[in-house]
Structure 1
Amino acid sequence: MHHHVLTGDRAVREFTDRGVTLRWSEAINADGLNRVLVEAGPAVSSHDTVRLICSENGGPERAIRGWPVLRDPQTGFQQFAAILPSVIQEKSLSWRPVLTSGGREYDPGPEEAPEAPPPPTPAKPSAQSPVLEHVAKFVVPFTSNFSPSGETPDGIWLHFAIKEGGTVEGPHLKGTIEPIGGDWMRVRSDGVGLLHAKALIKPSAGNAPILFEDTGVCDFGPDGYAALAKGNLPASAPVRLAPRYLTSNPHYSWMNRLQGFGIGEASLSDITLRFDVYSAKGTSDA
């Protein structure tokens, strides 16, 4: 959806799609260069990119890569800058910004394209994808003795004890993982491990630690149970997690309301769990 807003002496164009907004205005001429500023957000991760799609006199399109300028941690919006190519006086240049975020592209389309009429109201509200924000990357090493229980009526139980060297790195959360706690995992006969982990984060700000509790699945594959029964572990296995956090640290009180979504891998060659945690903002959130 396109909007045009007047800001000062400049018309600001706005495009919104699936909860993500792009804002941009005409180029600013400085030092003989046509500089463009584009605002996009809310950001999914620090890897979001913006490029300008340019065309001279309606000819073939070419892309120009922008660079990040700043990010507002409160609104989640990022600002990008780019330099438009020079054109001779007799030619015109049309351009538009395109955002790549979370594996998706947000493209306003050519400026001359007419705006499509609004679709009819559906009988049921259409589903919209949530906006994901990267919380942090976790690296959790474990001791090599994972204490397999052998086959029981309830599957094979494993206990992984956390050791020193764990780290947490994110835009608003940095710290280390204390060498206490661990993961208690039950592996079903189909090779799916149901994990339940508890640990403490020692954050870089404040004195109080952050307790985190993970539940989720680790997929050892269809033959994983038989291999574990023989004492063998695969080199790696994908994990999907649902972490929650609890702390009295005022710097991280926002984490008490956070429901995380973790995606990563258990590297069993070095007994280390590596995963990224995201939070999701839905259309019903304020």
Structure 2
Amino acid sequence: MPELIKELEYRAELGEVDEVGSGPFGQRVIANVTGGEVTGDRLKGTIVGAGADWLLIGPDGFGRLDVRVTVKTVDGAFIYVHLNGLLEMTAGVTAVIQGGDTPTNFGEQYFFTNPRMETGDERYSWVNQTMFIGEGRLVPGLAVEYRVYRIANS
């Protein structure tokens, strides 16, 4: 059985949420990522440049995440992060998105992602050959926090 090893925590601050509306694939919502940070023993940095969360909410009550950001490490490397995921659109999740002041908790809703990272910097080349899984929650202000684990052989 594979082993999950905690690799880092990731916090993305979200700006204004644009409600594109219901289209042929569901309700599209776009949130620009305005900042954030990554903290872990092997990887620390801040979210820089352009980034967004393109959320597609289906009639089944789940949102399909498509998030893309760039992390600049504390020692100057750039790492592209692309994550897909599944978010159960519970009343608590919807309340935070609409400006509520009560955070959701990890495990309170089905909220998992599979971050993919890539870089050309040799110091972090290990991210190019590593599978990750993240568990998420929403916090007021509006931000998303993830606990990210790497998948390792047992």
> Which residue number in structure 2 is paired with residue 178 of structure 1?
48
Alpha-carbon separation, structure 1, partners of 2:143 and 2:64: 17
Encode CA deviations 1:70-95: one digit per residue, 9 max, x unaligned.
Answer: xxxxxxxxxxxxxxxxxxxxxxxxxx
RMSD: 2.3
Select the structure with the greater relative contact order (CA < 8 A; seq sep ≥ 6). 2
Encode CA deviations 1:18-45: one digit per residue, 9 max, x unaligned.
Answer: xxxxxxxxxxxxxxxxxxxxxxxxxxxx
Q: How far 1:151 moved relative to its partner?
A: 2.3
Q: Report the AA paired with residue 130 of structure 2.
A: L
Instruction: Assess if the C-alpha contact under 8 Å between 1:146 and 1:161 holds in 2.
Output: yes
Where in structure 2 are the equivalents of 1:160-175 lying within 5 Å? 160-164=31-35, 166-175=36-45
Q: Report the AA paired with residue 211 of structure 1.
A: Y
Identical amino acids, percent of aligned pairs: 25
Task: From the CA coordinates, give the structure whose radius of gyration is larger.
Answer: 1
Encode CA deviations 1:230-263: one digit per residue, 9 max, x unaligned.
Answer: x957754652000011101111010110110001
Where in structure 2 are the equivalents of 1:235-254 lying within 5 Å? 236=104, 238-254=110-126
Where in structure 2 are the equivalents of 1:84-233 lying within 5 Å? 128=1, 130-143=2-15, 145-164=16-35, 166-205=36-75, 207-221=76-90, 232=98
Q: Report the AA paired with residue 84 of structure 2.
A: T
Q: Normalising to structure 2: TM-score of the pair? A: 0.84
Q: How many aligned positions are there?
A: 146
Counterpart of 1:178 in 2: which secondary structure? strand
Instruction: Assess if the C-alpha contact under 8 Å between 1:238 and 1:266 holds in 2.
Output: no
Structure 1 segments of 4+ aligned residues over 6 angstroms from their partners: none
Q: Are the structure 2 counterparts of residues 233 and 150 from structure 1 closer, same or farther at C-alpha, using a change threshold of 3 Å?
A: farther
Q: How far 1:185 moved relative to its partner?
A: 0.7
Task: State yes or no: 1:280 paired with 2:151.
Answer: yes
Unaligned runs of 5+ in 2: none
Q: Report the AA paired with residue 220 of structure 1.
A: M
Counterpart of 1:256 in 2: which secondary structure? helix
Alpha-carbon separation, structure 2, partners of 1:232 and 1:150: 15
Q: How far 1:153 moved relative to its partner?
A: 2.8
Instruction: Assess if the C-alpha contact under 8 Å between 2:134 and 2:149 holds in 1.
Output: yes
Counterpart of 2:126 in 1: which secondary structure? helix
Alpha-carbon separation, structure 2, partners of 1:167 and 1:208: 14
Q: Normalising to structure 1: TM-score of the pair? A: 0.47
Q: Report the AA paired with residue 281 of structure 1.
A: A
Instruction: Assess if the C-alpha contact under 8 Å between 2:99 and 2:141 holds in 1.
Output: no
Q: How far 1:152 moved relative to its partner?
A: 2.3
